[in-house]
């Protein structure tokens, strides 16, 4: 099975016969390391496949050579070989969907695990409410740079904007600590943020397609964030 125009290991060559199953996943661009392997074919798997092969539909959908668009975006095909005669069938061809579902379910057993999601951005804000001096301080981390800002309702305090580089080891430690936090257990608030006169902290973390956000009372942050807040405090001075 192959899908053009896809990133990663988009070429999936799986050979299934009554005795053995061989698989080889590769990246046509060469950016990802290929993966290969083999195993004994389970009798029930082979039977499941052969029972749903509908040759009239396959012969009707088989692509003549001149109609194979190997490089078309999103084009994919399923290839069956019988007595060394290959048949390439488009993945969207009618009449082969049951077979395709069964093949993909078997191919999925060999799929490499998805790469872990990475934290790409961290924003930490301290909001002191009504105060004298700089009442809102913020740190914006993106892996390479840290932007520090501070604002005051009093115009006699000029706005502060500082940009600096982030050492790789500091970013790695920070993201490792943040990736293990119990975001779902916390919800959006811990305790009573801002209920004291010492303000609240707001932590936002971009991890893959998710944005975690939690706020807490500055005097009583959650124990699980103690190391994180130590790093943020050190770099936010």
Q: pLDDT tens digit string along 50-61? A: 888 888 888 887
- Domain assignments of the chain as residue spans, ordered by start: 2-110, 119-236
pLDDT digits (tens, 9 = 90+) for 57-112: 888 878 665 555 656 666 677 777 777 788 888 777 877 788 878 877 877 777 66
Helix, strand or coil, per DSSP, at residue 150: strand
* Amino acid 70: pLDDT: 56
- At residue 203, does pLDDT exceed 90? yes
Q: Give domain 119-236's CATH architecture.
A: 2-Layer Sandwich (3.30)
CB 138 within 8 A of CB 148: yes
Cα distance between residue 201 and residue 136, in whole Å: 10
* Amino acid 48: pLDDT: 84
Cα distance between residue 90 and residue 175, in whole Å: 43
Contacts of 230 (CB under 8 A, 6+ apart): none
- At residue 201, does pLDDT exceed 90? yes
- The upper half-sphere exposure of residue 232, i.e. CA atoms within 13 Å in the direction of its Cβ, equals 23
Average pLDDT over residues 193-201: 83
Cα distance between residue 146 and residue 140, in whole Å: 6
* Amino acid 182: pLDDT: 92
* End-to-end alpha carbon distance in the chain: 55
How far CA 215 is from CA of 57, 138, 181, 191, 231, in Å, comes to: 58, 14, 14, 9, 17
* Amino acid 4: pLDDT: 39
Cα distance between residue 52 and residue 120, in whole Å: 45
Lowest-pLDDT range, 28-32, 147-151, 228-232?
28-32
* Amino acid 8: pLDDT: 64
Task: State the average pLDDT for the chain.
Answer: 83
Cα distance between residue 4 and residue 30, in whole Å: 14
Strand ranges for the chain from DSSP E: 2-3, 11-16, 20-26, 35-40, 76-82, 85-90, 119-127, 136-141, 145-151, 160-165, 189-190, 200-207, 210-217
- At residue 6, does pLDDT exceed 50? no
**131 burial level (CB within 10 Å; 0-12, 13-18, 19+):** middle
Average pLDDT over residues 151-166: 93
Question: In the chain, pLDDT over 70 holds for what percent of residues?
Answer: 88
- At residue 27, does pLDDT exceed 60? yes
């Amino acid at each position: 099975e192959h899908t053009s125009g896809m990133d990663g290991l988009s070429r999936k060559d799986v050979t299934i016969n009554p005795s053995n199953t061989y698989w080889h996943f590769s990246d046509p661009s060469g950016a990802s390391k290929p993966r290969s392997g083999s195993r004994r074919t389970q009798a029930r798997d082979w039977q499941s496949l052969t029972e749903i092969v509908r040759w009239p539909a396959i012969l009707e959908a088989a692509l003549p050579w001149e109609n194979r668009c190997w490089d078309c975006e999103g084009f994919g095909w399923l290839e069956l070989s019988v007595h060394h005669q290959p048949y390439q069938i488009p993945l969207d061809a009618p009449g082969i969907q049951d077979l395709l579902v069964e093949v993909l379910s078997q191919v999925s057993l060999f799929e490499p695990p998805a790469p872990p999601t990475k934290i790409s951005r961290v924003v930490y804000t301290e909001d002191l409410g009504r105060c004298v001096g700089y009442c809102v301080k913020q740190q914006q981390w993106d892996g390479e740079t840290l932007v520090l800002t501070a604002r005051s309702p009093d115009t006699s305090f000029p706005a502060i904007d500082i940009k600096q580089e982030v050492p790789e080891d500091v970013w790695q430690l920070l993201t490792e600590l943040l990736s293990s936090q119990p975001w779902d257990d916390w919800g959006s608030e811990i305790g009573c943020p801002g209920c004291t006169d010492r303000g609240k902290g707001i932590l936002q973390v971009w991890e893959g397609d998710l944005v975690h956000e939690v706020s807490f009372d500055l005097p009583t942050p959650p124990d699980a964030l103690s190391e994180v807040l130590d790093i943020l405090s050190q770099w936010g001075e």
